[in-house]
A and B are shown apart, each in its own frame.
Chain A
Amino acid sequence: MNVAALIQIFTFAWQGFWRNIWLSIVTITIIALALFSVNFLIILNVVTATAIDVIKNKVDVSLYFRPEITETQVLEAQTFLSALAQIETTTYISQQDALQAFRQRHQQDQTIIASLDELGDNPLGATLIVKAKQIEDYPEIISVVTNSKYNDLILDKNFADNQVYIEKIKNVSDNVNKIGFAAAGIFILIAGLIVFNTIRVAIYTHREEIGIMKLVGATNWFIRSPFIVESFFYAILGTVLAVAVVFPALNVVQPYIDAFFLAEGFSLRDYFMSHFLAIFGIELLITILLNVSSSSIAIRRYLRV
């Protein structure tokens, strides 16, 4: 392979691209759409994974002790729990602190405040807030507590609600993923077929040249290469267009992400920038592979003579 042949291959490829410019534009657009749907899937995955992480970090179990249980008994239970391998932290909230926090939460509700005043005694028990190392550990921790001698001291545990939220998020994200995968799969299939068709049209346009090339002793590799290079052009331009569409789309979505994550401050744009090569590099490689194989199949029939 010499430089002259390489220049010739690129020239033929460029001619093929320009002579069917509208077909080229359609092909590039479909590739970009397919990649956009893949990136949409990535966005969904990243957002749901981050949301689950945020929620997981917020998940803890509150063990509400009976009001008559003494501080010593609660602290004994705390020591017992802290010894468990699955426990990250335990926080003790005394009866007085619990009452104070309760009053603060309901300071606008005069009925509740009046009721508390009428009762005189503190109706609230102490609370132990337990945080596990892994969210999967909570059922086991709850089981240990339930089977321990401290279970009778506890009035209520609040783990079930958190479990429901996490399951709901997981279900929604699983369903969105399934739909996203199907949509991306369909787009990728369509993109493959469009590239196949575009290359076939390009070959048809060049059929005379191909015949003459074969007649004068051009190798199959030389004849095939311009079409492969042309499909490279489609892959590269399709990916560039996808990048050009994805980033403005991220800017549109970001305010909603900010509203959802509030203080956690998750930036999709930063995520895509820091994973730029991994995301778009792999997408480009896969698109090139798909295009090259699809155009190789398209041209095979014309190289038999």
Chain B
Amino acid sequence: MIILKSVSKIYPGNSVALKGINVHIKPKEFVSIVGRSGTGKTTLVRILTAEEPPTQGTVIIGGWDITHIKRSEVPILRRQIGVVFQDFKLLEKKTFFENIAFALQACGTSWRRAREIIPQVLKIVGLSGKEHRYPVQLSGGEQQRVAIARALVHRPKILLADEPTGNLDSINTQEIVDLLLKINEFGTTVLLVSHDREVVNYVNKRVITLDNGQIISDQKHGKYLL
């Protein structure tokens, strides 16, 4: 599903963010990528979403070599990868329903089709009946669920969650992690980027540990090492 071969990222000023990364993530896998701040986790996410290219190496997603992806092909890639962020990135002036519909409409889906799809994803994330609330009216956990629902509307094969629990309390954190596990059970490959020890240990799946831009550990049922 995801193959990284000798991937390095060096920013101007010879700042090394990633160095010689070799990873093979199979379909339907749940992988936690952990490490301290500044170890290259976010750079890895940005390379996977084609926000920036690697300096060296090859990146293959679903058999597609995106190392030198054309600008016009980036939207096609992003429709296959759902992304969730720590700060939710919801539009405050839109209801939950509208936030999700906006993502569909931005890709040319009709309003009628959006009305069919959205209740289904809201059901998956456990927010049925709250679609007409605004982000400020609900908790952080619920806002993150909407962000996850928005990431799922295109039925992506991969869900990239970059510190999704960073802004949440422990109860909401567990709910979000459970939701990610549920989505993984449905067959979506999940990449969880986190520096939260409890979250990673709770998931108890494959853990890739980064330090100084390099993989220092890759365990099938790993624990947070650092």
Show the binding face of A for B, using Cβ within 8 Å. 1-5, 8, 208-209, 211-220, 222-223, 305
CA distance A221 to B111 in the complex (A): 20
Answer yes or no: B171 CB below 8 A from chain A CBs: no
CB neighbors of A among B12-48 (8 A): none
Known: A217-B76, A219-B75. A212 touches B110 (CB 8 A): no
Are A218 and B106 touching (Cβ within 8 A)?
Answer: yes
The interface residues of chain B lying within 8 Å CB-to-CB of A211 are 89
State whether B89 touches A2 (Cβ < 8 A): no
Residue with the greatest number of chain B CB neighbours at <10 A, chosen from A5, A211, A217: A217
Contact A222 B106 (CB under 8 A): yes
Taking CB as reference atom, which chain B residue is nearest A305?
B51
Complex Cα distance A215/B51, Å?
A: 10
CB distance from A28 to the nearest CB of B (A): 26
- Whether the pair B89, A215 counts as a contact (CB closer than 8 A) is yes
Number of A-B contacts (CB under 8 A): 61
Q: Which of B83, B107, B154 has the most CB of A within 10 A?
A: B107
Max chain B C-beta neighbours (<10 A), residue from A4, A8, A215, A218: A215
B78 touches A216 (CB 8 A): yes
Which residues on A sit within 8 Å (CB–CB) of B103? 212, 216
Q: A212-B91, A212-B103 are in contact. Are A217 and B108 (CB under 8 A)?
A: no
Complex Cα gap A304–B77 (Å): 16
Question: B102 near A209 (CB under 8 angstroms)?
Answer: yes
B71, B106, B153: which contacts A213 (Cβ < 8 A)?
B106
Tell me how far the C-beta of A231 lies from the nearest C-beta in chain B, rounded to whole angstroms.
Answer: 20
Report B193-211 CB contacts with A as 1/0, cut-off 8 Å. 0000000000000000000
The reply to whether B91 and A209 form a contact with Cβ atoms under 8 Å apart is yes
Q: In this assembly, does B217 line the interface, its C-beta being within 8 Å of a C-beta of chain A?
A: no
Given contacts A208-B91, A209-B91, contact A216 B108 (CB under 8 A): no
Of A5, A208, A217, A220, the contact of B79 (CB 8 Å cutoff): A217
| A218 close to B75 (CB less than 8 A) | yes
Contact A216 B111 (CB under 8 A): no
Task: Render B61-75 as a binary contact track against A, CB cut-off 8 A, 1 for contact.
Answer: 000000000011001
Q: Contacts A209-B102, A215-B83, A216-B79; is A4 near B109 (CB within 8 Å)?
A: yes
- Contact residues in B for A212 (Cβ distance below 8 Å): 89, 91, 102-103, 106
Report how far A2 CA is from B111 CA in the complex, Å: 12
Residue of B nearest to A4 (CB): B110
Q: Which residues of B contact A215 (CB under 8 A)?
A: 78, 83, 89
Q: Which chain B residue shows the least CB distance to A219?
A: B75
Contact of B105 among A8, A208, A223 (CB under 8 A): A8
On whether the beta carbons of A218 and B89 are closer than 8 Å, the reply is: no
Q: Is B150 an interface residue (CB 8 A)?
A: yes
5 smallest A-B Cβ distances: which pairs? Answer: A4-B110, A217-B78, A5-B108, A217-B79, A218-B106
The residue in B71, B76, B108 that gathers the most chain A C-beta atoms within 10 A of its C-beta is: B108
> In the complex, which residue of chain B has the Cβ closest to the Cβ of A210?
B106
Whether A4 contacts B111 in the complex (CB less than 8 A), given A215-B89, A217-B79, comes out as yes
Complex-state Cα separation, A216 to B72, whole angstroms? 14
Q: How far is the CA of A25 from the CA of B12 in the complex (A)?
A: 44
Nearest-Cβ distance from residue B125 to partner chain A, whole angstroms: 16
Whether A4 lies near B79 (C-beta < 8 A) is no
Within 8 A of A (CB), among B97-146: 102-103, 105-111, 113
